Chain A
Amino acid sequence: MKMVKNAVGRMVPSEINGEKVVPFKGIGQHRPSGRKFAPTIVSAADYPADGDKRVESLKEALLKAGLKDGMVISTHHHLRNGDLVANQIFDIAAELGVKDLVWLPSASFPCHQEVIKHLESGVVHHIEGSMNGPLGRFTSEGKMKGVGVLRSHGGRYQAIQDGEIVIDIAVLAAPTADPFGNGHGLDGPSACGGLGYALADYQFAEKVIVVTDNIVKFPAIPMQIVGNYVDYVVEMDKIGIPELIVSGTTQITKSPDRLLIAELTAKFCDAAGLVKDGFSFQMGAGGTSLAIGLYFHKMLKERHIKARFAVGGSTQYSVKMLEDGCLDYILDAQTFDLEAVRSMKENRQKHPDISIFHCYDYHAKGNFTTMMDVMILGATEVDVNFNGNVVTHSDGYLLHGIGGWQNCLFAKCTILPVPLFRNRIPIICDEVTTLVGPGELVDVIVTERGIAINPKRQDLIDKVKDSGLPLKTIEELKAEAERICGLPTKPEFTDKVVAAIKWVDGTVIDVVREVKHKA
């Protein structure tokens, strides 16, 4: 395979799974021309006039949708680790003797390790989405037939919209649906809040199947999935395991070290003048992020000021800010706990569900991330040039998806609160194992042993230089980590490319290679 050096100096193939790909050209450099993808024109004449699109089973729906070898099957991940639908698709395909499918999930979870047997038997050819935990391990050891493709959440929408990947059948779990195919995640035993990841799937797939365990009479409101795009509706006993879909309560970290990182992050934001009336932020549901949110909440309350909007995942903590009057809007693409599901139902005006298209799509007429003041993200590795890795660990194994991480880098101030080392493995290194985000977009690294600001952000350095915060250079942090941990040896890889990492514009920023020595 021909390999070319891309704009961040990584060797990437010019072709993946038989399709030509574009190497990363630099941020904002790739401007594709042409028209977006569109599925085939259909006629309402071919759909039941009474609006009842129900069929007997998922198997029947898949057969009617024309399931055959080589098709691309998409799913969303709103049921998270409690998803009971995705695995069934491939069990049915195996039973029907179908081969070489491509699975396009918006994310995978440990519960999806059932798919490994279908990857081994050839029912599934490869995965384009995220390969988490066991699936990542399987991929890293070179066992997947095709090359995996990892995209950010926004990149997935972009790829579907641009026709880089064409969905043959979308199978969309809906915690509540009507016979016409309208669906939402607010009610039902498998309630998950919003369904913001499913938009591209139902808009662009050739066939759309909605699967529910809570059928209601038409209309199911809100129409988070719009029935006019839907071909078939399947009723099932159980689409998910509730306690694995949303946590009853997301929890702030109790680790004193993580709390220290959170405190330093909040103090940095304050010293840099970022916490002000009308500011906006995004943070995930991780324990450290939540603790940072709590510090923000306290500052806002004490100063009688408000944040304007928060994007991304919602939790009981962001809901509390909203209901406390410290936050005007939660724009919610992923609802993490039951309290947030309740809020989405009760605070329709101030806590609407939005889609990935709104917040992240790069081939759109703008998106929300560039407007955000503070962005809190994680990383498995950061190098001395501030390049970030979120997909592989330092031992070379692929273990996580990109999530919204790449999309979020475009915020005004991107902060990575990370421990300096995890279990003897330094997080700050000379060169990241996999380059998922270019350092020019990463502004600040906050560790328990000091804060490093990207030298490109002289404005931030000037603002905090007299704050008394423990400011260090990234090289100093790296040296401190290596003093404590020792210098790890670099993992070894074979030449075989097992997965490609796409940038938000569809270009290839890096690849993951097969590990030489199995852990």
Chain B
Amino acid sequence: MKTAYAGQHGKSDRSDCMLRLTLKNDGGRKITINSKVKLLFEQAILKTITEGLDLFSIEHADLIIDDNGAPDYVIMARLEACIKKLKDSNIEFLPEMLSQNTIHTSRERMRRSRLYLPGNTPKLSLNAGLHSGDGIILDLEDSVAPDRKDEARILVRNSLRQVDFYGAERMVRINQGERGLKDLDAVIPQHVNVILLPKCETPEQLLAVDKRIQDLRKEHGIKEDVWIMPIIESALGVIKAYDIAAASKNVVALAIGLEDYTADIGAPRTRKGDETFFARGTLINAAKANALQAIDSVFSDVSDMEALRENVLASKALGFDGMGCIHPRQIKVIHEAFAPTEKEIDKARTIVEAFKEAEDKGLGVVSVGSKMIDPPVVKRALRIMELAEKEV
């Protein structure tokens, strides 16, 4: 008899549970429920587990759940992960898909902030969308321990169906290589908006991912686009950034990961950032040459909001359009710092008004006073007005 485990049950693992499942040949089902909310949810937990065991046709088993207030979709994911450790199956124990989770996003959408969430930690995802980030990343890569990859994939799949992210763009950072392709199998049918491809070094890597995405779209009848955001995290990746950006029309932005990059070039990371100047500049240039957004690395000191603000202002000055976040508190600071200044807004407003006036009069040339305004300047002014209208 084999026993499998899934999930976590430490004191701080709110909204999670740990399941222990032993498959047997006879004796029926023995289900033990230990829960912090047993008096109120014992019946609900039992119902979910029974449905799951029925679905996988498991008649004889010992199952112990140690629960710390896990919502249904988490219990479902933990049960499925346990079962799949013990027997091969293509069956998925899927929670209902929220209608708001089928909405797709546009290429031009703002991506100022994107909040990283460890994919295997349900307590962080339930409220993540409340903090008004432009995007939420459910991470399957670095924040998930190697022996937890399979259960995390199932949990992320369920989260994409059941967690309301309140309008944030729904992103998943997949693993590298084969494992990443397996991640795609689970998440693409869930109407995910953006796939983050870590440690991307060659156009071929990107194309492999793109192909699998397109195959899965066809297979599951997903009509809308699924965007790709490669993350450049090495010296080779930086050199190849242009080719990566140009490899597919589904690439929507280039992001840079500076921790791995500085390790790769053998330079300590400093606050001033001279060692990453070339990489950042190259990445921005590669992105803009392909009309893509350029996204900066995360700022890791979550307690220092002033340093974060300076960091974002420096990013904006270089040409970045957004930045990663590792704590919800960073979102507001990032949005404020990326927001145009009063002076920028005033200037942009004048240009946009002149542009509209020229359009109304059917004039080919836009001018403010005696000065002619070039089309890219109009485009930038329109972008600034869009940013200004977006509430921080």
Binding site for B on A (CB under 8 A): 256-257, 259-260, 394-396, 423-425, 448-449, 468, 484-489, 491, 517, 519
Contact = CB atoms under 8 A, between A and B. Distances in A.
B106 to A, nearest CB: 23
B69 interface: yes
Contacts of A491: 39-40
Contact of B329 (A259, A424, A487): A259
16 contacts: A256-B127, A257-B127, A260-B131, A423-B14, A424-B15, A424-B40, A424-B41, A424-B71, A425-B40, A448-B130, A449-B130, A468-B391, A486-B71, A486-B72, A489-B41, A519-B39
Interface in B109-144: 126-127, 130-131
Interface string B301-322: 0000000000000000000000
Contacts, number: 59
A387 B70 CA distance: 28
Nearest to A515: B39
Q: 8 closest pairs, A vs B, by CB? A: A488-B40, A423-B69, A424-B69, A256-B328, A395-B39, A257-B127, A486-B44, A424-B37
A259 B43 CA distance: 34
Given A256-B328, A257-B127, A257-B130, A394 B40 contact: yes
A183 to B, nearest CB: 41
A256 B327 contact: yes
B44 A260 contact: no
A404 B186 CA distance: 52
Contacts of B126: 484
A484 B71 contact: yes
Interface in B250-286: none
Classify chain B's interface size: 20 to 34
B193 interface: no
A259 B327 CA distance: 13
Dominant SS among interface residues on chain B: loop
Contacts of B391: 468
Contacts of B14: 423
Nearest to B131: A256
Interface string B17-43: 000000000000000000011111111
Given A395-B37, A486-B71, A488-B40, 5 more contacts: A260-B131, A394-B40, A395-B39, A484-B71, A486-B44
A131 to B, nearest CB: 19
A423 B37 contact: yes
Interface in B218-234: none
Contacts of B131: 256, 260
B175 interface: no
A458 B36 CA distance: 40
B11 to A, nearest CB: 12
Interface centre among A259, A423, A424 (most CB of B within 10 A): A424
A448 B129 CA distance: 11
A487 B43 CA distance: 10
B39 A396 contact: yes
Nearest to B70: A424
A365 to B, nearest CB: 45
Contacts of A519: 38-39
